[in-house]
Amino acid sequence: MAQPIEDFLAMLAAERGAAANTIAAYRRDLEGAEDAIGNLAAASRDSLASLGAAWSGLAPASVARKASALRQFYGFLLDEGLRQDDPSAALPRPVTRRPLPRILGHDDVETLFAQAEREAESERSEAVRLLTLLELLYGSGLRATELVSLPLSAVPRDAPFLTVTGKGGQQRMVPVSGRAKQALSRWLAIRPEGHFLFPSRGGHLSRVRLFQVLRDLAARAKIDPQKISPHVLRHAFATHLLEGGADLRVLQTLLGHADIATTQIYTHVDSARLVALVNERHPLAQRAGRD
């Protein structure tokens, strides 16, 4: 790996507070581009233009992500005086649309919880841990990384909140439901020793393992495992709160979104309520009712 790339990644960590997963993603994209065209720091516009063909089999969103990483890298080189020109204009600019989140219905959520609660009645450590994980994913809307990396100190003794460190090292307070608090109490009474809330072999439970235990639970609950993931449960948290009348700004805070435009994607699921609201509250609708 060329030194300019290492310096760029170090800048992401130090100045932008980028998370380890974000830095790893940038590294993969930059390494892949360098494998394709050689030294990125010295690459020409023609070399960058050739990446369009190399990426032709990728989805537009993947191409856009890779091109964005390269554009930021060349912006860094300019700022540091390591290049006098920016060749990134030659990179492809695919038209992408933000995909709508996969939605889990209320019935599936209830079925999933019923299965987890039945299994937790055994008081087996793995079953109680799984119920606690499920409660925090759906009840508090945590990201997978935020959840598995929670230190034990994030759980307060009295206040019904968790202190969560999200993307970019930003901290936020996340409310814990009464149900989740009960599950947490059960788990804290039997959890192994360790710095993390969900310890595992000297560290914490991995994101991959979290993904696996959720899909295994879905299979036991007779739900298609492909429908279930930590992120789908986070989407369900947001969607169902919005259906219940939650304010979009409040939802933005709970999810830890830096930009409310990211949160607004959830508004599409509440279209039926919005149509009813217009029919009931719009002045012309009220006038038609009087007529």
| Averaged pLDDT, groups of 10, the chain, 291 residues long | 87 83 92 92 93 89 90 92 91 71 81 95 95 91 88 79 76 83 92 92 89 95 91 85 74 70 60 62 60 52
Statement to judge: residues 117 and 82 lie in one domain: no
Confidence at residue 259, expressed as pLDDT on a 0 to 100 scale: 62
Statement to judge: residues 137 and 17 lie in one domain: no
Verify whether residue 222 is a known catalytic residue: no
Statement to judge: residues 159 and 218 lie in one domain: yes
* Phi-psi group of 3: left, alpha or beta (phi > 0 → left; psi -120 to 50 → alpha; rest → beta): alpha
Contact 241, 154 (CB under 8 A): no
Confidence at residue 249, expressed as pLDDT on a 0 to 100 scale: 75
Q: How far is Cα of residue 191 from the mean position of the Cα atoms in its chain? A: 26
* Phi-psi group of 270: left, alpha or beta (phi > 0 → left; psi -120 to 50 → alpha; rest → beta): alpha
Question: Tokens at residue 160, please?
Answer: 């019904």
The pTM assigned to this predicted structure is 0.61
Question: Tokens at residue 231, please?
Answer: 């992120």
Per-residue b or e along 188-204, where b marks 16 or more CB atoms closer than 10 Å to that residue's CB: eeebeeeebbbeeeeeb
Per-residue b or e along 36-70, where b marks 16 or more CB atoms closer than 10 Å to that residue's CB: bbeebbebeeebbeebeeebeeeeeeebbebbebb
Kindly name the residue from 143, 191, 204, 240 that is annotated as catalytic: 143
Q: Looking at the domain assignment, is residue 99 inside a domain?
A: no
Confidence at residue 172, expressed as pLDDT on a 0 to 100 scale: 81
Confidence at residue 271, expressed as pLDDT on a 0 to 100 scale: 58
Verify whether residue 235 is a known catalytic residue: no
Q: Looking at the domain assignment, is residue 291 inside a domain?
A: no
Statement to judge: residues 26 and 168 lie in one domain: no
Statement to judge: residues 172 and 209 lie in one domain: yes
Statement to judge: residues 132 and 262 lie in one domain: yes
Statement to judge: residues 192 and 231 lie in one domain: yes
**Strand-strand pairing, 203-204 and 199-200:** antiparallel
Statement to judge: residues 116 and 86 lie in one domain: no
Distance CA 40, CA 29 (A): 12
Verify whether residue 220 is a known catalytic residue: no
Kindly name the residue from 129, 191, 234, 240 that is annotated as catalytic: 234
Kindly name the residue from 167, 181, 207, 220 that is annotated as catalytic: 167
Statement to judge: residues 142 and 79 lie in one domain: no
Question: Tokens at residue 198, please?
Answer: 């969900």
Q: How many domains does the chain have?
A: 2
Whole-Å CA distances, 102 to 4, 107, 211, 228: 38, 15, 16, 9
Distance CA 21, CA 4 (A): 20
Kindly name the residue from 207, 215, 231, 273 that is annotated as catalytic: 231
Q: How far is Cα of residue 256 from the mean position of the Cα atoms in its chain? A: 10
Verify whether residue 181 is a known catalytic residue: no
Q: What residue numbers bound the domain in which 70 lies? A: 3-90
